[in-house]
Amino acid sequence: MTTAIKRFPPDKPVANIVEEIKQSGVAIIENLFTSDAIDSLSAKLNPRLEAQEPGGGEFFGNRKRSVGGLFGLGPEFSEHLLGNERVLELADAILLPEYPMAATSTPPEPLGFFEVPDPTIGPNCHHYRINATVAMQVCRGGQNQTLHRDEWRYLPYMRPDPDGPEVTLAIMVACSDFTEKNGATRYVPGSHRWARDRQPEETEVVQAVMPRGSAAFWLGTIFHGLGASVDDQPRTGLIYSFVVDRFTQEENQFTAVPAAIAATLPKRAQQLIGYRSSSALNFIEGLDDNHVLSL
């Protein structure tokens, strides 16, 4: 039987949490977001979620409601999700950008143009940005979601390298308590190290049981999926993920958060949403590489 997902308090040193994510593919930080922050986000999300009939198709277990484009719904999403220093510290340490986003992160040593970086040290990208955002509410009934890896969205164009750098990091924020009964998200720790053709057994699956305000962090190479609920009260969580700048974003942030809305957000949030370039990728002549939204 697979052991439970390891959990940490918010003030645990980043290095300890990063080590666990790299080792197991997933870790939980309990009570990372304040009750006020979750209340603020839920006030925006719940009316939209509760206005829907549960569905989502077979892949999602047929019993979920969802809302995407979160950073276009209101400034509180950028404030609480993109302004959280611990989240950015972890993203910096996993994705190893040339230009980190957390105030406390130290940039890696710059490389020459043709130098190949050590993937454990970096830099492994110029920067990272939002990949996808969605709030999901799991309702009673249905079935477990098919276990999958987030990296599959880039196949066959990307050839995964188990010794190479990480390209995505996802975060699930618990907007209500996650329990076994209400279908807490299911993970297969260690599966990011498996051979490509190995499939998980049910005995290898564990659930991310965690209190409201907590967050699970996982790599794009680990098997995971929503759990089925047998609880009359729905379970609500929101997911946002980061991807290195050399990969396209799963969710089109320039539609979800058009420039007129992005212009009202802090510069760091604009950059993380995608209003940014490098000298080699996505550049716009005459605009600052690190900030392409002209104000």
CATH code, domain with 214: 2.60.120.620
| 59 φ/ψ angles, rounded to the nearest 5 degrees | -60, -35
Assess if residue 280 is contained within a domain: no
Indicate whether 119 belongs to any domain. Answer: yes
Considering the domain boundaries, does residue 149 fall inside one? yes
Q: For position 61, what pLDDT does the model report?
A: 65
Indicate whether 290 belongs to any domain. Answer: no
Q: How confident is the model at residue 197 (pLDDT cuts 50, 70, 90)?
A: confident
Residue 216 in any domain: the answer is yes
Residue 116 is given by DSSP the state: P
pLDDT of residue 55: 79
User: How far is 234 from 190, CA to CA, in rounded Å?
Assistant: 29
Residue 206: its pLDDT value, please? 97
140 belongs to a structural domain: yes
Domain membership of residue 107 as a residue range: 7-273
Q: What mean pLDDT do residues 112-118 have?
A: 81
Asked whether residue 174 is assigned to any structural domain, the reply reads yes
The 10s digit of each residue's pLDDT in 60-85 is 666 788 999 999 999 999 999 999 99
Closest CA to 73 of 236, 219, 262, 291: 262
Per-residue model confidence (pLDDT) at position 295: 46
Q: Please tell me the total count of domains within the chain.
A: 1
Q: How confident is the model at residue 168 (pLDDT cuts 50, 70, 90)?
A: very high
Query: Is residue 233 in a domain?
Result: yes
